[in-house]
Chain A
């Protein structure tokens, strides 16, 4: 158990819809990262938050957005969903991005677009 909690585990929805994925980081971790794993792309970095502030963006689509709340949990919002958005979405957390500390991953949310 990594200590990172993601909900829901599975999500099935239709094209054009909007969903919210939730992540609670490990106790004491201030930084949250979101990654997408699709069949042909591997694990790809989407976005990072540190103590409530956006720190870095990867190849995140404009239809996707995220935030980190004062209690440090984070939400990833995906809107106008397309078939190609079907993937595993992982959240990871770490203590401080400035230190050489590993990121610890949750078990992911599997998103299926029908």
Chain B
């Protein structure tokens, strides 16, 4: 039972354009959502998060949007840079309880010059 899904295994975007990564979840108890970026041979690096009381959170070039009714979130990166090439994981947790993270399968983003 995959509670967090990233349906696109890979995405290729031109440098300077917008990258949009998508994530769907099924568990309505999730109320905290995060995006992590992962380079080979490194651990996931926290990028940005959003609480379920918000529908948008911005941090520099990164914006996360949350649509609770659709159980969908997205990460926008503008403008995309070559250093953004990595695997991006969406994760979700429920604040009640242990707050363990449930991860999607990841999307490999490639930024082309």
Tell me the nearest residue of chain A to B49, going by C-beta: A102
A4 at the interface (CB under 8 A from B): yes
Measured between alpha carbons, how far is A99 from B98 in the docked complex, in Å?
A: 10
Which of B31, B34, B99, B103 sits near A42, CB closer than 8 Å? B103
Measured between alpha carbons, how far is A44 from B41 in the docked complex, in Å?
A: 18
Given A56-B98, A98-B95, A100-B51, A106:B43 Cβ within 8 A: yes
Proximity string of chain B (63-98) to chain A, C-beta cutoff 8 Å, 1 when within and 0 when not: 000000000000000000000000001010001011
Shortest CB distance A75–B (Å):
18
Shortest CB distance A71–B (Å):
21
Q: Residue among B34, B46, B100 with the most chain A CB within 10 A?
A: B100
State whether A2 touches B43 (Cβ < 8 A).
yes
Proximity string of chain B (16-58) to chain A, C-beta cutoff 8 Å, 1 when within and 0 when not: 0000000000000001101010000111111001010000000
Contacts of A107 in B (CB 8 A): 41-43
Contacts of A43 in B (CB 8 A): 44, 89, 91, 101, 103
Assign chain A's interface to a size class.
20 to 34
A52 at the interface (CB under 8 A from B): no
Which of A2, A6, A56 sits near B45, CB closer than 8 Å? A2
Query: In the complex, which residues 94-112 of chain A have their Cβ closer than 8 Å to any Cβ of chain B?
Result: 94, 97-100, 102-108
Given A42-B104, A58-B100, A100:B43 Cβ within 8 A: no
Contacts of A45 in B (CB 8 A): 100-102
Query: In the complex, which residues 1-60 of chain A have their Cβ closer than 8 Å to any Cβ of chain B?
Result: 2, 4, 6, 33, 35, 42-45, 48, 55-56, 58
Which of B32, B36, B100, B105 sits near A33, CB closer than 8 Å? B100
Measured between alpha carbons, how far is A33 from B103 in the docked complex, in Å?
A: 14
Contacts of A44 in B (CB 8 A): 103
Contacts of B89 in A (CB 8 A): 43
Given A97-B98, A100-B95, A104-B46, A42:B105 Cβ within 8 A: yes
7 contacts between A and B (CB under 8 A): A4-B43, A33-B100, A43-B44, A43-B91, A55-B98, A94-B99, A97-B98
List 9 additional contacts besides A42-B103, A97-B99, A98-B95; criterion CB under 8 Å.
A2-B43, A2-B45, A6-B43, A43-B44, A43-B89, A43-B103, A55-B98, A56-B98, A104-B46
